[in-house]
Amino acid sequence: MNIIKAFIVAIAFCLPLSAFALTDDEQVIFTDALRTGNVKVVKKYLDNGSATVNEKSFAWSALQMAADKGQLNVVKLLVEKGAELDYRHPINKMTALHLAAYSGHDEVVKYLISKGADPNIKMRGGVSILRAVKDQGHDSTVAILEAAGAKDDGCQGSCN
């Protein structure tokens, strides 16, 4: 048994650090690629194992970063690779769908909904995305969310 443990430890020390995580410079390049829509770079990091599809950067998922900037092709790649659609940021409780909708990225909103993203998950304070998008004045996004069954039932009374 000790031989097996020693063998596993030896293998772990022989692997390059890049097999476990991105370097600081690579993290900057990867997150920039997510936000600017550079599918080629995102795919490179995912395919070589430097980054994982559900890896977080300051608690933001790759899908959230791409959706927030309306990067439909990157969003599609991440979803195809298994990105968690309804991951909620631990502080503001927003999902990728929330971020895309709040910014008025209709094509990303449609795509995420078509892949099963839940339009009725509440944000921090129990606020519905439908209420927030109405407040932003994104009428076309409101129509998409309503067609998907989103309800403006969050934060009844007072919001915290």
What are the pLDDT digits (tens) for 74-93? 999 999 999 999 999 999 99
Is 13's pLDDT higher than 70? no
Residue range 32-42: mean pLDDT, rounded:
98
Mean pLDDT throughout 110-137?
96
Residue 1 clears pLDDT 70, i.e. is over it? no
User: Is residue 59 helix, strand or coil?
Assistant: coil
pLDDT above 50 for 9: no
- 92 and 59 in contact (C-beta within 8 Å)? no
Q: What is the DSSP letter of 61?
A: E
Query: Which residues touch 75 (CB under 8 Å, ≥6 apart)?
Result: 63, 66, 67, 96, 100, 108, 111, 112
Q: What is the pTM of this model?
A: 0.84
| Residue 19: per-residue pLDDT | 46
Amino acid of residue 42: V
Sign of the alpha-carbon torsion through 64, 84, 111, 149: negative
| In this structure, CATH architecture of domain 24-147 | Alpha Horseshoe (1.25)
Domain-wise residue ranges, the chain: 24-147
Provide CB contacts within 8 A for 143, sequence distance 6+: none
What token pair was written down for 34?
A: 């997510």
Over residues 59-88, the mean pLDDT reads 98
6-10, 65-69, 93-97: least confidently modelled range: 6-10
